[in-house]
Amino acid sequence: MILTDVSKTAVATLRCHVLESRKKKPIIKDPMAEYCLDKLSSLASDEDRSGIFQKRLSPMLINHIVIRARKYDNIINDFVAKNPDCTVINLGCGFDTRYWRIDCTKCTFYDLDLHEVIEVKREILKDKPEYEMIGSSVLDASWIEKISSKRNRNVLLVAEGLFMYLPRPDVINLFRTLAANFYNSQIVLEVVTDKYTRGIWKKIVTYKIRRELGLDAGSSYHFGIAKATEIETFAEGIKVIDEWSYVEDPDTRPRLLKYLGISRTQWTVRATINENK
């Protein structure tokens, strides 16, 4: 099996979970991540096995990834507890094993990612998933129509490390489509400041990602915002209710990050979609 660069970025995230889980006092425990990584490695080419599967990942990157994952898991569990029999859609899921880390007994769960990623994920998981995986671009409205035809209320859309890589006009159009199809729902998404999408700052981000992962896929940010409430202008019915940055977490390392004024350079926004309609 030859992994594409898009698939390899998902491997890097999976490895962060595995490396953290092996610690004596891990921020998250993710045994299914270990299972997936082993299966992926056995299917990968020799070149990939000696590449992204072995590349050193910085402690700061691992810390960021696992703290973010824990936060999103907690948001999902809170939503499920308050909205039993809800729907959770894991957008741009990669090889994430979130289904096994949340209270999946009270919700209908979907994984969604590009067809090439989902096909690999289906191959490594075989018959383990008790949920549906959809191979589609998040920008393809067909998946929205498919899900909203079954359930268009009490839906939580989760976009962890995704939207910044999408073209801005497409993100705005996606928000409009979501607002036209879902009610009493929420979206939680990671965003970056808009300065990272242009000029020297964009070049710095591109260099940093390539240096850390050694990959070109997803190495440039295209979508950013100046402030969280900007997404409310994308579509009627969108209302920001919460913001969070991983540097605010007590487990962030190094702790110095908390005092550098970077909490709103890359952070998480949670918003309602047509609340009380």
Stated length of the chain: 277
Q: For the chain, give every domain's residue range.
A: 5-273
Q: Which residues contact 4 (CB under 8 A, 6 or more apart)?
A: 116, 217
Q: Which CATH architecture has domain 5-273?
A: 3-Layer(aba) Sandwich (3.40)
Please report which residue ranges of the chain form alpha helices under DSSP H.
Answer: 5-21, 31-43, 46-49, 59-82, 115-125, 142-148, 168-181, 199-213
Contact 102, 73 (CB under 8 A): yes
Distance CA 272, CA 231 (A): 11
Please give the average per-residue pLDDT across 186-204, as a whole number: 95
Tokens read off for 145? 């129509």
pLDDT, average across residues 145-168: 96
The torsion of the CA quartet 139, 142, 145, 147, rounded to 10 degrees, works out to -80
pLDDT at res. 277: 83
- 123-139 pLDDT, tens digit each: 999 888 899 999 999 99
Cβ proximity of 225 and 193 under 8 Å: yes
User: Do 15 and 37 form a contact (C-beta atoms < 8 A)?
Assistant: yes
Question: Nearest-CA neighbor of 113 among 268, 183, 213, 217?
Answer: 217
- From CA 217, how far away is CA 143, in angstroms rounded? 23
pTM of the model: 0.94
Sign (positive or negative) of CA dihedral 66, 68, 69, 71: positive
206-264 pLDDT tens trace: 888 888 877 665 568 999 999 999 999 999 999 999 999 999 999 999 999 999 999 99
Higher pLDDT, 261 or 5: 261
